[in-house]
Structure 1
Amino acid sequence: MNGLDGKTAVVTGGGSGIGRASAKRFADEGANVVVADIDAETGRETVDLIEDAGSNATFVDVDVSDLESVERMVDVALDAYGSLDFAHNNAGILTGFADVADIDADDWDALLEVNLKGIWTCLKAELAVMAERGGGAIVNTASESGLVGMGGLASYSASKHGVVGLTKTVALEYATRGVRVNAIAPGPTNTNIQSRMSGDGDPSSMEFDTSAMIDVPMDRIAEPEEMAGAVAFLCSDDASYITGHTLPVDGGQAAD
Structure 2
Amino acid sequence: MSAAARTAPATVLSLDAQAGRLAGRVAFVTGAGRGAGRAHARLLARRGAAVAVVDIDADVAQATAAEIESEGGRAIAIAADITRRELAEQAIHETADRLGALDIVVHNAGRMYSLTGLEATDDADFDALLEINVHAPLFLTRAALPYLRNSAAPRVIFINSQWGQVPDGHSYAYMVAKAAQLGLMKTMAKEFAREGILVNAVTPGAILTRMVPDDCVAGEQAAIPLGRLAHPEEIASTVAFLASDEAAFITGQSMAVNGGALVVGA
Q: TM-score of the superposition, structure 1-length normalised?
A: 0.90
User: Is 1:149 paired with 2:184?
Assistant: no
For 2:254, which of 231, 246, 251 is the aligned residue? 246
Per the TM alignment, residue 135 of structure 1 is displaced from its structure 2 partner at its CA by 5.0
Q: Supply the distance in 2 between the matched residues of 1:36 and 1:139 (Cα, whole angstroms).
A: 15
Q: Supply the distance in 2 between the matched residues of 1:189 and 1:108 (Cα, whole angstroms).
A: 22
2:57 maps to: 39
Q: Supply the distance in 1 between the matched residues of 2:51 and 2:230 (Cα, whole angstroms).
A: 24
Give deviations 1:73-113, integer Å, cap 9, x for gaps. 11121111211011111001122111121011111111111
Give deviations 1:220-248, integer Å, cap 9, x for gaps. 00000000000000010000000000101
Kept in 2, the 8 Å contact 1:193–1:207? The answer is no
Per the TM alignment, residue 63 of structure 1 is displaced from its structure 2 partner at its CA by 1.2
For 2:216, which of 209, 216, 226 is the aligned residue? 209
User: Is 1:12 paired with 2:19?
Assistant: no
- SS of equivalent to 2:138: helix
Q: Supply the distance in 1 between the matched residues of 2:124 and 2:215 (Cα, whole angstroms).
A: 20
Q: Supply the distance in 1 between the matched residues of 2:261 and 2:143 (Cα, whole angstroms).
A: 33
Query: Equivalent residues in 2 for 1:173-192 (5 A)?
Result: 173-192=191-210
- SS of equivalent to 1:209: helix
Listed as ranges, the gaps of 5+ residues in structure 1 are 195-205
1:70 maps to: 88
2:229 maps to: 221
Alpha carbons of 1:20 and 1:233: their partners in 2 closer, same or farther (altered >3 Å)? Answer: same
Listed as ranges, the gaps of 5+ residues in structure 2 are 1-17
Give deviations 1:35-61, integer Å, cap 9, x for gaps. 000011111110111011011100011
Query: Equivalent residues in 2 for 1:75-90 (5 A)?
Result: 75-90=93-108
Residue type of the alignment partner of 1:157: M
Kept in 2, the 8 Å contact 1:8–1:84? The answer is yes
Q: Supply the distance in 2 between the matched residues of 1:185 and 1:208 (Cα, whole angstroms).
A: 23
2:146 maps to: 128
Give deviations 1:90-145, integer Å, cap 9, x for gaps. 00112211112101111111111112212211221222321245550111011011
For 1:51, which of 57, 65, 69 is the aligned residue? 69
Q: Supply the distance in 2 between the matched residues of 1:208 and 1:169 (Cα, whole angstroms).
A: 38
- SS of equivalent to 1:11: strand
Q: Supply the distance in 2 between the matched residues of 1:43 and 1:193 (Cα, whole angstroms).
A: 18
Could you say what the CA RMSD is over the residues aligned between the two structures, in angstroms?
1.8
2:238 maps to: 230
Give deviations 1:132-191, integer Å, cap 9, x for gaps. 455501110110110101132211011111111111110010001121000000111000
User: Is 1:26 paired with 2:56?
Assistant: no
Residue type of the alignment partner of 1:94: M
Residue type of the alignment partner of 1:217: P
2:126 maps to: 108
Per the TM alignment, residue 213 of structure 1 is displaced from its structure 2 partner at its CA by 3.3
Residue type of the alignment partner of 2:34: S
Kept in 2, the 8 Å contact 1:184–1:247? The answer is yes
Q: TM-score of the superposition, structure 2-length normalised?
A: 0.87
Kept in 1, the 8 Å contact 2:54–2:80? The answer is yes
Residue type of the alignment partner of 1:244: G
Q: Supply the distance in 1 between the matched residues of 2:178 and 2:238 (Cα, whole angstroms).
A: 18
Alpha carbons of 1:106 and 1:79: their partners in 2 closer, same or farther (altered >3 Å)? Answer: same
Residue type of the alignment partner of 1:212: G
Residue type of the alignment partner of 2:83: S
